[in-house]
């Protein structure tokens, strides 16, 4: 079996310590961090890590037994020539690092969400990974969750009938948290192309006059897809809840994936339906981070497209940024692809 050399840039929580924060929380199937997940996949050897913070570098290197430690990620990539690079810094650096890695021979990249802070950055990432034939996955975890696969199967097998409406019951900050939810709306919509987004930010007191926000803003969205589906991304105190509604039934992800639900039409009175609960199809829980890595390995070995490839990743980011653009335009429908590629929203 071929083994893979892994390098990680950004040695913080998602790189190596986030598992400690979620022990006992049933929504998360461990391992969660990149390092813990690579340690669970037999073909993987994490050979190097990079961080500008020497303490973070040392702590991570010691915990995960990684001897190749660098304060300059460029040097790490040139010297170590990794097969897979994890990008676990904050979003403002993702475009720079991914582009450098693609141009310097890294064949597979696992980049954390959000993809970037503007569509100019996303475009550069898509261009670089496609030009160099790099396999790319974005860390929007729920796309790799086996429970979400079951919902997509229910849609594809027609159990829900004609799906017309998908609801996300939370967006949070549009890039940091919303990136997860916009990506999952897209996944449930079969990665269809969106026609337009109409959005509203939670606060009217945000200055977008320079086509830039220094804070990751929160808001709600109405999205219409070319395949006829509509999606609503709402703001609520729920952690992560989704509903996919068809003309024969509905499927729900509840409590951030602890609970799952299915209701199907049992009786019909004219146009009025009565939907009753059915058991949600069984599935085996598995770490989405591990599944994301396995998907990258599969792509390396077969040449198949990755599940969270750069185009899909950009499409989700575009939905989030289009909410800001719609607000900026007084609530107008923003046709996609969005013309304002330079709109920048900083996310941590």
Structure tokens at 316: 């989700």
Stretch in the footprint of ligand NAD (CB under 6 A) among 83-91, 158-166, 265-273, 328-336: 83-91
Q: Is residue 18 a contact point for ligand NAD (CB under 6 A)?
A: yes
Number of alpha helices (DSSP H) and beta strands (DSSP E) in the chain: 9, 17
Stretch in the footprint of ligand NAD (CB under 6 A) among 7-15, 99-107, 323-331, 332-340: 7-15
> What is the C-alpha separation between 178 and 171, in angstroms, rounded?
4
Shortest Cβ 113–ligand NAD spacing (Å): 5
Which residues, in sequence order, are CB contacts of 203 under 8 Å at separation 6+? 217, 218
> What is the C-alpha separation between 268 and 169, in angstroms, rounded?
28
CB of 5 or CB of 13, closer to ligand NAD: 13
Is the CA virtual torsion 93, 97, 98, 99 positive or negative?
A: positive
Structure tokens at 166: 């998908």
Q: For ligand NAD, what does the binding mask look like between residues 92 and 131, x meaning CB under 6 A? A: -x------------------xx------------------
Q: For ligand NAD, what does the binding mask look like between residues 134 and 173, x meaning CB under 6 A? A: -----x-x--------------------------------
Q: Is residue 91 a contact point for ligand NAD (CB under 6 A)?
A: yes
DSSP one-letter string for 35-97: HHHHTTSTTEEEEEEE-SSHHHHHHHHHHHT--EEES-HHHHHHHH--SEEEE-S-GGGHHHH
The residue nearest ligand NAD at its CB is 12
Shortest Cβ 226–ligand NAD spacing (Å): 28
Which residues, in sequence order, are CB contacts of 261 under 8 Å at separation 6+? 250, 251, 252, 254, 277, 280
Q: Using the rule CB under 6 A, which residue among 68, 90, 146, 161 binds ligand NAD? A: 90
Stretch in the footprint of ligand NAD (CB under 6 A) among 82-90, 244-252, 292-300, 332-340: 82-90
CB of 56 or CB of 248, closer to ligand NAD: 56
Interface of this chain with ligand NAD, residues 22 to 61, rule: CB under 6 A: 50-53, 56
* β-strand pairing of 194-201 with 219-225: antiparallel
* DSSP one-letter code for 218: B
Q: Using the rule CB under 6 A, which residue among 176, 263, 314, 328 binds ligand NAD? A: 176
Structure tokens at 270: 């004219």
Q: Is residue 88 a contact point for ligand NAD (CB under 6 A)?
A: yes
Residues near ligand NAD (CB under 6 A), total: 24
Residues that bind ligand NAD (CB under 6 A): 9-15, 18, 50-53, 56, 73, 88-91, 93, 112-113, 139, 141, 176
């Amino acid at each position: 079996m071929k083994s893979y050399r892994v390098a990680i840039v950004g040695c913080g929580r998602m790189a190596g310590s986030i598992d400690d924060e979620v022990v006992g929380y049933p929504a998360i199937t461990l391992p969660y961090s990149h390092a813990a997940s690579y340690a669970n996949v037999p073909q993987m050897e994490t050979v190097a890590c990079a961080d500008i913070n020497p303490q973070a570098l040392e702590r991570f290197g010691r915990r995960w037994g990684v001897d190749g430690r660098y304060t300059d990620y460029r040097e790490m990539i040139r010297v170590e020539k990794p097969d897979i690079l994890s990008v676990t810094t904050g979003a403002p650096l993702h475009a720079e690092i991914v582009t450098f890695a693609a141009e310097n021979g890294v064949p597979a990249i696992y980049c954390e969400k959000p993809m970037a802070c503007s569509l100019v950055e996303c475009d550069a990432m898509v261009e670089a990974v496609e030009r160099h034939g790099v396999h790319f996955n974005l860390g929007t975890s729920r796309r790799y969750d086996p429970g979400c696969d079951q919902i997509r199967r229910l849609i594809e097998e027609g159990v829900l009938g004609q799906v017309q409406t998908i609801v996300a019951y939370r967006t949070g900050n549009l890039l940091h948290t919303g990136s997860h939810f916009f990506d999952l709306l897209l996944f449930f919509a079969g990665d269809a192309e969106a026609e337009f987004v109409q959005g509203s930010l939670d606060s009217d007191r945000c200055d977008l006059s320079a086509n830039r926000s220094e804070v990751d803003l929160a808001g709600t969205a109405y999205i219409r897809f070319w395949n006829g589906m509509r999606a609503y991304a709402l703001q609520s105190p729920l952690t992560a809840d989704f509903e996919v509604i068809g003309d024969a039934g509905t499927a729900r992800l509840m409590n951030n994936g602890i609970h799952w639900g299915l209701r199907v039409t049992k009786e019909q009175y004219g146009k009025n339906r009565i939907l009753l609960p059915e058991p949600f199809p069984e599935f085996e829980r598995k770490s989405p981070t591990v599944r994301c890595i396995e998907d990258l390995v599969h792509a390396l070995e077969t040449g198949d497209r990755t599940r969270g490839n750069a185009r899909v990743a950009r499409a989700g980011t575009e939905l989030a940024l289009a909410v800001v653009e719609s607000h900026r335009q007084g609530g107008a429908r923003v046709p996609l692809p969005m013309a304002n590629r330079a709109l920048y929203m900083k996310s941590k």
